[in-house]
A and B are shown apart, each in its own frame.
Chain A
Amino acid sequence: MAKLNVNGVVREFEVEDDTPLLWVLREQLGLTGTKYGCGIAQCGACTVHIDGEPTRTCVRPVSTVTAAQKIVTIEGLSKDGSHPVQKAWAALDVPQCGFCQSGMIMAAAALLKQKPKPTDADIDSAMTNICRCGTYNRVRAAIHVVAKGGDVKSAGLAIQTEGSKA
């Protein structure tokens, strides 16, 4: 019997020790926001926070995580999508297909917690997630928006939510 603290709730379940945390989250706990992309920690789609550290869960055996460690997944980053990173992502329409974005957001949230004003070089070294649609420039812009306290206009990317009245 394994025991994990996920998004503030301690859950118990039956699983083989060597099962990657990713598949426990997805299959045992039903938290499918965390994605399988490569299975070898290359793409970052499976990124969650373990005690605040961005962690690629597709290669992390569940037996190496204890119930004392706090796991936060994309579903637990905020209750209502109000985390500053989520808000910046929505304001700049960052996602395209969106499949990699849970991992991107978790990596960005961890970076910004560690370095509230990251440089482009900081972003380059922290954000090694793969996106095939090609959202990298909007990901970068959204991280800078968060660093500027949510100043969406600073990104210079006008996006409307209502039709023009003309």
Chain B
Amino acid sequence: MSPRDMASPSRRGFLKTSGAAGLMLAFHIPFAGDAAAQGAPAAPEVNAWVVVKPDDTIVIRIARSEMGQGTLTGLAQLVAEELDADWTKVTTEYPTPGQNLARNRVWGSHARGGSRGIRESNEYVRKGGAAARMMLVQAAAAEWKVPASECVAANSVITHTPSGRKTSYGKVAIAAGKLTAPAAADVALKDPKQWKLAGKRMARLDTVKKTDGSQIYGMDLTMPGMLNAAIKDCPVFGGKVKSFDAAAIEKRPGVKKVLQVGDSAVAVVADTWWRARTALDALPIVWDEGPNAKLSSADVAATLKAGLDANDAVVGNQSGDARAAIAASVRKVEAVYSFPYQNHATMEVMNATAKWTPELCEVWTPTQNGEAALATAAEAAGLPPAKCDVYKLHLGGGFGRRGAVHDWVRQVVEIAKAMPGTPVKLIWTREEDMLHGRYHPVTQCKLTAGLDAKGEVTGFHMRISGQSILASVAPQSIKDGKDPVVFQGLNTPGPEASIGYAFPAILVDHAMRNPPVPVGFWRGVNLNQNTVYLECFIDEIAHATKQDPLALRRKLMANSPKHLAVLNAVAARAGWDKKPAKGIYRGLAVTMGFGSYVAACAEVSVGKDGKVKIHRIVAATDSGYAVNPQQIEAQVEGSFVYGLSAALYGECTLKNGRMEQDNFSSYPVLHMDEMPKVETIVMPSGGFWGGVGEPTIAVAAPAVLNAIFAATGKRIRDLPLKNHSLKA
């Protein structure tokens, strides 16, 4: 433990013990002054991923954040599988980003987004588990003075096969931790066919605490001497604080400080959050609304519309001469679609706690990317990253909001910096959260298909016009004017986000138009609207050429067997070849993204009053490997809630430079009574690792929109559905 660690009471309270190889951090939330934990005996670290305690408890270190998606359990399953661990003794903890930095990024990336938790890190975490097993076996063999090759491990027990001697992981862990780790090349991984823990329908490790109120989220953190802050940022994008009358509220009960944060926000710090919030509501603030004070959704739509025919487009996917093929075609099908701004609306609003001194800045926050949070904290603190750390707390939802941009971390550190030595917890109101999102970007899309005399597609053009996420969050990643994220699901055949349809000539291009609204990665990202555009338009072609939507897809996807397999799976389960019950209509959608292939078949009815009821959705997922099928089912079901909330209701509209929706009253989401029955087919075909948290969202909306068209003959091209009447 470094002197700096010892100097911080809050950090000392956070730490349990230090092993020879470094600090061991408690996964649970440590209220300061956990003396028992400090006095506990050192628990040996076998390697960076695995700690085994003398009582055989196994602590698996998890670098990726748990935000509901089950990664914590899935990654632990993978490590425990290779470790041959007794699952009933497995627990987990997060290393901190500061520890990762201090140990040369031994745990790799902390980023959690893009459905990458398992697909990106599975190999090195499995190797971590396998290497730890090899070292434990080696230690037992050395103690027995027998060759390691004569020993086998199972369920946390090592057996010397010839003599039948046995020992447990806990008994040899200290000796194992002193051994040299095997070279990565010498660490063999199991064939997934032999898995006993991974691939099984294991219960989550984090459920019980979520049923009795004991799970601590960022918002729930308390520490001695902590104050609470509420904040109001200028509601107009790009606006600033002109003035505020602190004297008007400074004498209110509990108020400790009223301060400007950055150039656009004002915060009130009080003993309780409710007092801070009510004082802030009473604070007279004059805003300089800046250059966007008159911006409206109509302005944004007009800008994007102009981009549909502009010449400054960047090509994302091109094969053959689609424009010429379309120009020479016998017949054209053309349609323009649009997709609005949407808010993540995580159930837990943005929040963080910070404590700043000239020597050390500590931040406790729910984040999808601890390392990015650390970088933001260090910048705001005016300290080098080595003098800062971030403790990740459980997330009440992430969906991309808590990943790329840590605006709330910047705010809390600036507030804490104004009160050195005092921990301050900042909680946004729901209204602040709605007005200062990192919104799902707006795009419009013009799709054109040229057809020959037989109705076969000869050329296909998708022109996307609209906002780039990378231009907003990581402009340095834009090369030659191209934001590859814009083309998700529309790429050439390959391992990621590829289009499954083969056209004789195809052109997908993007005219970048960036309104002054902050955008970000929103669960499913651009795959969401791209799949709406493509899958609804394929239905339009089917309708225009009097083909069955399934038959047309099968024909165009003949060379994309994985796309085709999930499509066929939902069609078979839904009974596409049989007529649905009276009044029920079906729609299909299929896509590939985040490494996985997904399809959905929705069954809906539309009443004479125009009311849509989604009765049943059949969904299929091929994620290559399936680490925990029951959690994949949970992710798929959840994806329909997120995707259908967006399709039915999700829309943030601009008026006078600010978002008009400020709470669930004006930004409705799907409720229980609207939730369809979901039948999930998990069909891992092996040989690749795909994500499961996002891809299904993309097929939710188009499957339902296509079913609505089947029911009503009305083609909805502008989301959300709430803006359209489906009355007969």
Contacts from A to B (Cβ < 8 Å) = 16, 19-20, 23, 26-28, 30-40, 42-43, 45, 73-75, 77-78, 81, 86, 89-90, 93-102, 105, 123-125, 127-140, 157-166
Contacts and interface: CB of A to CB of B under 8 A. Distances in A.
B213 A73 contact: yes
Nearest to A20: B274
Interface stretch (B52-60, B344-352, B595-603): B344-352
B213 A42 contact: no
Interface in B608-652: 630-631, 633-634, 637-642, 645
27 contacts: A37-B348, A38-B664, A39-B429, A40-B663, A43-B664, A90-B208, A90-B211, A96-B70, A97-B68, A97-B395, A97-B398, A98-B209, A98-B396, A105-B211, A132-B399, A133-B641, A136-B671, A137-B677, A137-B678, A138-B634, A140-B675, A158-B630, A160-B202, A163-B155, A163-B197, A163-B200, A166-B196
Contacts, number: 204
Contact of A89 (B211, B347, B431): B211
Contact of A101 (B210, B399, B637): B210
Contact of B213 (A39, A74, A132, A160): A74
Interface residues of B, number: 73
Contact of B630 (A74, A132, A140, A159): A159
B672 interface: yes
Contact of B69 (A94, A96, A138, A139): A96
Interface stretch (B5-13, B217-225, B300-308, B375-383): B217-225
B199 to A, nearest CB: 9
Given A36-B219, A42-B663, A128 B671 contact: yes
B715 interface: no
B67 interface: yes
B180 interface: no
B76 to A, nearest CB: 12
A130 to B, nearest CB: 6
Contacts of A45: 347
B212 A40 contact: no
Given A42-B663, A161-B203, A98 B215 contact: yes
B213 A34 contact: yes
Interface of B: 67-70, 80, 87-88, 155, 196-197, 200-204, 206-217, 219-220, 222, 228, 253, 272-275, 345-349, 394-399, 427, 429-431, 630-631, 633-634, 637-642, 645, 663-665, 669-673, 675, 677-678
B203 A130 contact: no
Contacts of B210: 89, 95, 98, 101
Contact of A86 (B212, B641, B645, B671): B212
A33 B639 contact: no
B490 to A, nearest CB: 26
Contacts of A74: 212-213
Contacts of A163: 80, 87, 155, 196-197, 200, 202
B201 A158 contact: yes
A24 to B, nearest CB: 8
Contacts of B394: 97-98
B518 to A, nearest CB: 20
B348 A99 contact: yes
Contacts of A157: 630, 633
B397 A164 contact: no
Nearest to A85: B211
A43 B196 CA distance: 40
B638 A93 contact: no
B197 to A, nearest CB: 4
Which 8 interchain pairs have the tightest Cβ spacing?
A: A33-B213, A134-B641, A134-B638, A97-B68, A99-B396, A98-B210, A96-B68, A124-B673
B454 to A, nearest CB: 43
A124 B210 CA distance: 22
Nearest to B209: A98
Given A135-B634, A135-B638, A164-B196, A35 B347 contact: yes
A82 B641 CA distance: 29
Contacts of A86: 211-212
B663 A132 contact: no
Contact of A39 (B206, B220, B430, B640): B430
